[in-house]
Every structure is written in C-alpha cells, then in structure tokens.
C-alpha cells in the first residue's frame, strides 16, 4: 500500500468519525428537545427549579432542535455547534447555581462542540466577510 493510499484511508476514517460524532450530538440534543416539548415531568420540574418560567423550556428546546439540524447541515455546522455551545453554557450555569447537579457533562459536550466550531470556523468567517 502506498503512502498516499494510507493517508487517504486515514483521512476518510477521520471524516467518517467526525460525521458520526456530529450525528450522535444532533440526536442527543434533538431527543432532549423532544423531552422538553413533550412536557416530561422531570423536565418541567427541572425548569421550575431554575425559576425563570416554562417559556425557557420551550426556548431551550427550540435552540436544541435548531442547533441539531444546523449541526447536520454541511455549510452551517459551525453555527449549529455555536448555538449548542450556548445551550451548554446556559445548562452549566443552571446546573451550578440552581439545580445543584454535576456540571461535567456540560463541560465535555461544550468542549466537543467548540472543537466542531473550530474545525468549521471558515463557515463563520465566510458569513462575516473575512
């Protein structure tokens, strides 16, 4: 096997793995949004604890669905990652200050989303004209 073939296979494996990661994250966030929109008692109670009203549950669900869809849209993946990072930041502070649960999952998922946004930063730069 030549060096070019090996590097092409490595590149393809990375590309497939990166897409799989984005699909998993999109499913995760869209599923969480579905639970929020369905009014699962746990979700309703969690947003009651936050104390900002149930409108935040619907707003968060809309952001999660939008971000999940954008994460799978090839020319808008950076925007999906940035939007979902905002959700993670909000969840971090809600978990830390109001709900008093573990925040590590928001940090890990936010870090993964930051990496996705960085890899696709050219999309953002193209929109802002740089």
Model confidence over 54-72: pLDDT tens digits?
999 999 999 999 999 999 9
Give the residue numbers spanning the domain of 79. 3-128
The string of DSSP letters for 56-120 reads: HHHHHHHHHHHHHHHHHSTTSHHHHHHHHHHHHHHHHHHIIIII----HHHHHHHHHHHHHHHHT
pLDDT at site 13: 82
- The model's pTM is 0.87
- In the chain, the number of structural domains is 1
3 confidence band (pLDDT: 50, 70, 90)? low
């Amino acid at each position: 096997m030549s060096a070019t073939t090996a590097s092409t296979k490595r590149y393809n494996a990375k590309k497939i793995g990166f897409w799989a990661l984005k699909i998993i994250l999109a499913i995760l966030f869209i599923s969480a949004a579905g639970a929020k929109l369905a009014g699962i008692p746990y979700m309703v109670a969690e947003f009651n604890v936050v104390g900002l009203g149930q409108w935040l549950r619907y707003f968060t669900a809309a952001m999660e669905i939008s971000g999940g869809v954008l994460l799978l849209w090839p020319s808008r993946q950076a925007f999906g990652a940035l939007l979902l990072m905002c959700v993670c930041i909000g969840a971090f502070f809600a978990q830390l200050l109001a709900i008093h649960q573990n925040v590590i999952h928001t940090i890990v998922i936010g870090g993964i989303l930051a990496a996705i946004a960085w890899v696709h930063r050219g999309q953002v730069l193209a929109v802002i004209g740089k």
